[in-house]
Amino acid sequence: MIRPQVKRQKDQQSFVDNLREGMEVVTSAGIVGKVTKIDGNIVRLLIDEKTYMRVLKQTVTGEYKV
């Protein structure tokens, strides 16, 4: 029972560790944006033309695919 949860946590941590600029991502709040800068634990997302948002790296849950 615990094993699938541990696997998901490892996959999520691996994804967060491999974040790079230019990726289209979605946050845990459902915000979709393009990674423009990674500064330690903070990720800057371009969410609209000339609109940026800073979020914690751990809140990025996955890559956004249309």
Q: CA 46 to CA 32: how far, in whole Å? A: 9
Q: CA 56 to CA 36: how far, in whole Å? A: 14
Higher-pLDDT residue of 2 and 60 is 60
The model's pLDDT over 12-61, given as tens digits with 9 standing for 90+, comes to 999 999 999 999 999 999 999 999 999 999 999 999 999 999 999 999 99
Domains and CATH numbers, the chain: 2-63 (2.30.30)
